[in-house]
Structures are given as structure tokens and as C-alpha cells.
Amino acid sequence: MSVPRFDELIHPATRLSIVALLAASDWVEFAFIRDQLALSDSALSKQLSTLDEAGYVRIERTVSNHRRRVLAHLTPAGRAAFRGHVAALEAIVARAAPGATQRN
């Protein structure tokens, strides 16, 4: 069970979508993320750079069958931040659920 910790860097919808894809994968190719989320190359590069600078994502450039590939991995720090963020979102929803103990 992760400790709830709201993460403002992950929270914007596009970044959250990217991290959610990476969280369920060992690695994902740049093109897959771009196509699944209907993003432009530049928009996705910008978001990945932000996550990379935060230490949440690692970018790997490889060549396979004469084709250049850019692979994105979620780092352990990124995974921990994502889990904490999801736990924080779940806690917010749970607090608002009917019958939940009201906080003052």
C-alpha cells in the first residue's frame, strides 16, 4: 500500500496519461505513446523532458533493424511518485464518498 502523496508534476492530464502507460509497462516506444495519446512529436518530447528532468522517466535511444527507436521507462522514483499520486487521488475520492468520516 503506497503512502498518499499528491504530485503536482504528474497530475496534469497529458503527463498523467503518459505515466499511466509507462506504469503498466517495462518500456514503451515514443511512437506508441504519441499515437495512443494523439500527441504531436514536439508535445510528447516536451512532456517526456519534464518527466526526465524530475527523474521520473528514463529515455533510451536504440537502433533496431536499422530503425531508430526512442524508448521511455518509468524510473523507480517515478513509479513511487505515481503510486503515491494514485493513492492520494483515491483518498480524495474516498473522503468524498457518502458515509465517509467528515474532516473539520
Min separation Cβ 41 and another protein, Å: 15
33: left (phi over 0), alpha (psi -120 to 50) or beta: alpha
Question: What is the closest distance, in whole angstroms, from the C-beta atom of residue 97 to another protein in the complex?
Answer: 8
Rg (CA), the chain: 16
Binding site for another protein (CB under 8 A): 6, 8, 11, 13, 16-21, 23-29, 31-32, 36, 86, 89-90, 92-93, 95-96
**From the CB of 64, what's the least distance to another protein, in Å?**
8
C-alpha grid cell for residue 57?
A: 522517466
